Amino acid sequence: MGSVLMAGDLHGNTSHALALLRVAVRQQCDRVFVLGDFGAWEHTAEGRHYFDVVDRSARKNRVRVYFLDGNHDKTSLLHQLYGAEPDNEGFLVCRKNIRYAPRGLRWIWEGTRFAAFGGAYSVDKAWRLAKEAQREQKAERRRQFGSSRHPATAETLWFPEEEMTDAECDALLAADDTPVDVLLTHDKPRDSDPAWNRKNLPECVPNQDRIQRVVNTLRPRLMLHGHLHYRYTDAIDCGGGQRTRVEGLGADPEASHPSDYRSSSSWLVLNLPYAGESAERELAG
């Protein structure tokens, strides 16, 4: 029997990432799976350093780190850098002990069928685009004076690929619509109803509808997601008289706002194989 430490958004927070690796060791988990907003910013020196530090610690602790994409991960660059040689399960190998799950990836761990569908809408999209524009104006002024050290700033804070399109969602489900045991996403499904939700703008709804469509198609017994930065548990209909247990996980402390936040709100131990209703009481976090 194995265990996976499921974790909410890290946002490139190195100290929180290293703390989670220590939790994984204490909980006897040889895998950590981050549910989006991992901190995939390798277009920056800080982002590359973050990957290197987490990888070194993961190797030292004999833990492998997996993640799916959140709205604040530059997935186009992940595919560009690592898409040519996925491992034998389909994960992209970003470092020896860091692996990315592309949207729609399916795999089996210890008899448990998983699927990953990343992406979400950024509620701070307007701020990010405005900040990019400000940086570009400053860079352009410097270029006019002969500086070559200021590259273009577009798609450095906001990424056009941040959420699934309807066509992408339809194509992924058309390629394989067989049921799974555990569904991992960044965004919440439309029908889940957390007590606290700051991702409730009208612009957030289309991607939540896509995630709901994934739930209704794949009918997982368990679904885990991040994005809301809030720990909650719910149960929703997934069709055919079946129910899906939904576990929303909190984020790193610097990105979390609820007054009752604890670091343990950001992780949950998933024991494998996952056996549906008989395993619900074994979920720990």
> What residue spans define the domains of the chain?
2-122+158-282
Average pLDDT over residues 6-12: 98
CA angle (116 as vertex; 205, 54 as ends), nearest 5: 110
- Tracing tokens 């009752």 back to the chain, one arrives at 260
Question: Is residue 153 predicted with pLDDT exceeding 80?
Answer: no
Which CATH code fits 2-122+158-282? 3.60.21.10
pLDDT of residue 140: 77
Q: Which residues are CB-neighbours of 49 under 8 A, at least 6 positions away? A: none
User: Can you name the residues that pair with 232 across neighbouring β-strands?
Assistant: 248
Tokens in use for 58? 């993961």
Question: Is residue 194 predicted with pLDDT exceeding 60?
Answer: yes
The per-residue pLDDT for range 203-235, each reduced to its tens digit, is 999 999 999 999 999 999 999 999 999 999 999
pLDDT of residue 261: 87
Q: Are strands 112-117 and 182-185 parallel, antiparallel or unpaired?
A: parallel
Question: Is residue 236 predicted with pLDDT exceeding 70?
Answer: yes
Among 4-8, 142-146, 210-214, the minimum mean pLDDT is found in: 142-146
Please report which confidence band the pLDDT of residue 282 belongs to, taking 50, 70 and 90 as the band edges: low
**What is the Cα–Cα distance from 168 to 178, expressed in whole angstroms?**
17
- Burial class of residue 269 in the structure, from the number of CB atoms within 10 Å of its CB (0-12 exposed, 13-18 middle, 19+ buried): middle
Q: What are the Cα distances from residue 57, in Å, to 19, 35, 144?
A: 10, 19, 43
pLDDT of residue 283: 63
pTM for this one?
0.94
pLDDT of residue 151: 66
Please report which confidence band the pLDDT of residue 285 belongs to, taking 50, 70 and 90 as the band edges: low
> 3-class SS at 231?
coil
**What is the Cα–Cα distance from 280 to 201, expressed in whole angstroms?**
32
pLDDT of residue 141: 77
If phi > 0 it is left, if psi is from -120 to 50 it is alpha, else beta; for residue 146 that is left
Please report which confidence band the pLDDT of residue 244 belongs to, taking 50, 70 and 90 as the band edges: very high
Per-chain mean pLDDT for the chain: 93
**What is the Cα–Cα distance from 239 to 216, expressed in whole angstroms?**
6
Average pLDDT over residues 172-182: 97
Q: Could you tell me the maximum CA-CA distance found in the chain, to the nearest angstrom?
A: 68
